[in-house]
Amino acid sequence: MAPPLSRRTLLQSAILAAALPGVGAAVAPGSAAAATLPPPASWTLQPFALDDVALGAGVFAAKRQLMLDHARGYDVNRLLQVFRANAGLSTLGAVAPGGWEGLDGEAGGNLRGHYTGHFLTMLSQAYASTGDTVHADRIRTMVGALTEVREALRHDPTVLAVAGRFATAVENVRGSYRYVDLPAGVLGGAAETTLAAWVKPTHDGNWARVLDCGDDTTRYLYLAARNAGGVPRFAITTGGPGGEQGLDGTAALPLNRWSHLAVTLAGGTGTLYVNGTAVARNTAMSLTPAALGTLADHWLGRSHYASDPVFAGAFGGFDVWSRALTAAEITALQSTPGSGDLVSYAFDETSGSTLADGSGRGLTATLRRTWGAPSHPGFLAAYPETQFIQLESMTGSDYTRVWAPYYTAHKILRGLLDAYLATGDPRALELASGMGDWMYSRLSKLPATTLQRMWGLFSSGEFGGIVEAVVDLHAIGGKAEHLALARLFDLDSLIDACAANTDVLDGLHANQHIPIFTGCLRLYDATGEQRYLTAARNFWDMVVPHRMYGIGGTSTGEFFRARDVIAGTISATNAETCCAYNLLKLSRALFLHEQDPAYMDYYERTLLNQVLGSKQDTADAEKPLVTYFIGLTPGHVRDYTPKQGTTCCEGTGMESATKYQDSVYFKAADGGSLYVNLYSPSTLTWAEKGVTVTQATDFPREQGSTLTVRGRTGAFALRLRVPAWATAGFRVTVNGRAADGTPVPGSYFTVSRTWRDGDIVRVAMPFRLRVEKALDDPSLQTLFHGPVNLVARDSATGYLEFGLYRNAALSGDLLPSLTPVGGKPLHFTLNGTAFAPFFEGTEDPTHAYVRRAEPRVVFGNTDSGVANPVKADGTGLLDEVWAGAPFASRGALVARVRAVVNAWVAAGLLSAADGAKVVSTANGATFVP
């Protein structure tokens, strides 16, 4: 457990921005003070905390509000259900979320618990952003519950008392993996017997045992609440399943209601009773407990068959007699508690781990977990530790058996750290530190070869951003073991290849490996080891643009594909949203180390298009409504509720939507510069300088922004990002006068001055319509208006064909070929097809890529009558003409046309007559400037 932060440390770190994206220092009245992480010395820039940057009205704030409403309205007890169940605590009647959360989720719910971590992070960011104490209250509720869960896991399971058939009863919550371990003498070696139990099943899992006594799967007797047909079954055998002598009921036991089961064996006859009525009789049952001899195990609720579920529900009584009760006696048990002479459990305990025997034989039973106890008191999860244990011996991937347990641990750890940083709740830090201690206790004992094998397993070995989180934990608590733990996750084969700039990404699971490199950057911060920084930088270059779609996303069916293959990978499962989330984190972290504007160009592209577009523009209290994949096939309709709404991507989507402002502004580590990275309506409070900077803009619906500086006089350099797409000009004025210097697209433009209260900086950046071509098929293109990706809305499932040169402007802007839609900014039509921003979260069928077709030479909407000739490499005559844009005048364009035509005629690609028509048409056409 990490020691508490000293007052001095808190005061020092309070003046610095959180290293975590989106976590700030908002403090609610009466709450513990929020904490921060001091930025590493290796960062040349520092971010601002979320509460330093207030979002103004616009596309980001509108999307955020939808998620904030979800954060306020969702019942957090539903998230906590799986944790409480795992610890054997009352789940308060809550129903676990569907999808990947809950025992009925994919792969048996092997990823359950991850969503709680995402939700904690979302709440932490929401609180830091808005100061709304509702979010802080929910954080404290969740942290308090998780504290109770860990405490329960640390100790032997204890009775969960509920109302019983006669008095109290003992419930084993589904997911607690608890059973009753009976003493060896409960059957008494009887030649005749009666077994009777009151049960209230809460789940309809087949083969869940009420009673199972045996050595293995050969010699046993059992009473199951449900067989394969869903009805009760009793069986006894000395020869395995094929030798079973059995009794089967006729109807399923009702869920959530008490039922009485009884079995009598005597004189070769067995009878099964349900609620006092005989439902099955077998006169060929020669086996009795006496025939089984001494057995190893005697269990209530657990089966000797490992694949059978643990009984979920309540036990209200269990009795065994050394004789066969009569039918009348069985009937009497419906109104009178049993009193078996071999054993009698009333289950009327309200605490402790033992269950008293009322037979007088003193056969005390014990409540146990099927998986035993955690290996370390810091263990915290929503499922048993067995997934972590099994991973250590796995040689092949099998997510149905082990599904990314360290990924889930990361989400929980990250959520707890964010909760601590947002609210200062020491319980959250204690839980997080305990998790670090527990993981170190497991992983530090494993050989390096085992660790490398584990982390190389697809899905099973995925660990998400755990390295970044563990290094942050070390930065807070200072425990050397935690830094050592972070390095135990190194996947050396990948890190070394990327450090050597060797591209080995083809075929790798994309989101399993992207966050490895944000972890590398944090390890570089902590250790100074250059290998980590180099690997992260090179990895980014291998993805952007070589495996990047126009919207900024990457991956197909979750996997990286071959370098520079874009058109050849387009499918319904492109651009997993988690990949975009993690690439943004990586880009941001790289930029904090090295101010390459390409990182922020990528950040804007992906945030404004894929991330915004992954959130549906609809309110929903139950679902965050975020895509998993964004299919780029023609006519794709986005699915905002994949797998019932609790996937990793919906988790990261919740996080993204509550930290949109985390990279709008950065400050130089020496305080001498302020970087404006994104143009977004917002107000920055720069406390150290005593100034605020407000951006007034409706960007991207507005092609510019106005920044107003207020506060005390002070000198600093304002560094304004000049987007790489801003080729139509980027103009800056200060108090109405043009700023000195020449802005260059793909750089930062600097305004250095001593700022005075009320100074106004106006940035104008006209948009142009441009295309980006798929690297492996130039005819497949995606359209951008400035930073905004435009998608065609059409239900066709084949690529739509469009020409864009027909009315191109002298500037080279293709926009005049489109028709604006009145009253709807960024909406256009082309040949009757609607085009709209990708970021609009609708369920319209969309075409992110279209097929470029320029069959005829047209200038200024005037058709020359000449077919557009094409070279062997796919370059058309019009492509070569417009490659010379911008043109200062029509004469300059005509001169370009004449030069290209002459070259093509000389090369035999165009006849002289057709060439003359082309030149004449250009000369007579009217062009937009």
**21 pLDDT more than 50:** no
**430 pLDDT more than 50:** yes
Q: Give the pLDDT score at 12.
A: 31
Q: Give the pLDDT score at 22.
A: 36
Q: Give the pLDDT score at 27.
A: 34
Q: Give the pLDDT score at 498.
A: 98
Which amino acid is residue 88, in one-letter code? G
**3 pLDDT more than 50:** no
Express each pLDDT in 561-580 by its tens digit: 999 999 999 999 999 999 99
pTM: 0.94
Q: Give the pLDDT score at 727.
A: 95
Relative orientation angle of helices 76-86 and 133-154, to the nearest 10 degrees: 10
Which distant-in-sequence residues (6+ apart) come within 8 Å of 146 by Cβ?
Answer: 80, 83, 380, 416, 431
Express each pLDDT in 846-885 by its tens digit: 999 999 999 999 999 999 999 999 999 889 999 999 999 9
* Cα–Cα distances in angstroms (integers) from residue 6 to residues 3, 10, 40, 197, in the given order: 9, 6, 19, 57
**545 pLDDT more than 80:** yes
Identify the CA nearest to 749 among candidates 780, 795, 705: 705
DSSP 294-350: S-SEEEES--SSTTSPPP-EEEEEEEEESSPPPHHHHHHTTTS----SSEEE-----
Q: Give the pLDDT score at 681.
A: 98
Identify the CA nearest to 774 among candidates 709, 851, 883: 851
Cis peptide before 886 (omega within 30 of 0): yes
Residues 116-142, mean pLDDT to the nearest whole number: 97
Residues 884-912, mean pLDDT to the nearest whole number: 96
What does the angle CA 400 – CA 178 – CA 105 come to, to the nearest 5 degrees? 30
- Burial zone of 639 (CB within 10 Å; 0-12 exposed, 13-18 middle, 19+ buried): middle
Residues 435-458, mean pLDDT to the nearest whole number: 98
Q: Give the pLDDT score at 446.
A: 98
Residues 598-619, mean pLDDT to the nearest whole number: 98
Q: Give the pLDDT score at 33.
A: 66
Number of Cβ within 10 Å of residue 621's Cβ equals: 10
pLDDT confidence bin for 32, thresholds 50/70/90: low
Q: What percent of the chain has pLDDT over 70?
A: 96
Parallel/antiparallel/unpaired status of strands 788-793 and 777-785: antiparallel
What does the angle CA 17 – CA 18 – CA 22 come to, to the nearest 5 degrees? 110
Which residue reads 């425990």 in tokens?
479
Q: What is the mean pLDDT of the chain?
A: 95
